[in-house]
Amino acid sequence: MFLKVFRFRYGEVSDKVNALILFMLLTFALPAQSQAAGPVRILALGDSLSAGYGLMQADAFPNQLQRALNDDGIDAVVINAGVSGDTSAGGLSRLEWALSEGVDAVIIELGANDGLRGLDPGETFKNLDAILSKLKRRELAILLTGMRAPPNLGEDYGREFSDIYPRLAKQHEVPFYPFFLEGVATIAELNQEDTIHPNARGVRVVTKSILPYVKEMLQGIKSK
């Protein structure tokens, strides 16, 4: 009889101890793991449109995007890897260096200068394809943004150039924002005096429009 009572009471204590251990793990271990993860690090790899040419850095695209994500409750840091005047070839050549600090996701905003200079769309395709391939091998989340060539280069060139981006997005199966300057290009009050680079208001329009696509990209990080 004594043994039966002892076993019953010992079993009760054991169950309580196990429950206490589980509670402590949920209360302390999980938040610590979450804190260790830190913010999502997003690289904005681009040209002057990302670099913030003619703007205060607070108004540049990476800074405005980071604030928009933070305002929506997403803990993210957006790293400005924009270089004014850069082509797709330039972006490819400095990719490894840009990734050296470690990132979780990359927004590719390249090609505007290729189009302005009338470079061979086939070469632009190869450069962007190589960038995407390198990023895919690293298993990074990616958002590809599209660009259009200036109309003065002719319809054939414009069509071939614009087709680069949807082809690559389909080939690499990555989220795709069709035109980085959607709702801003050719609108005088949203651009600087050069009519090419967005002003602070223009960047706000870009940021608001692209934000859902950035969130879609970030889903790729959670699913890993």
Q: Which residues are catalytic?
A: 48, 194, 197
Question: Residue 165 has which token pair?
Answer: 């981006």
Please list, in sequence order, all residues whose beta carbon lies within 8 angstroms of the beta carbon of residue 65, skipping any fewer than 6 positions away. Answer: 42, 44, 78, 207, 210, 211, 214
> What is the phi/psi pair of residue 136, to 5°?
-65, -40
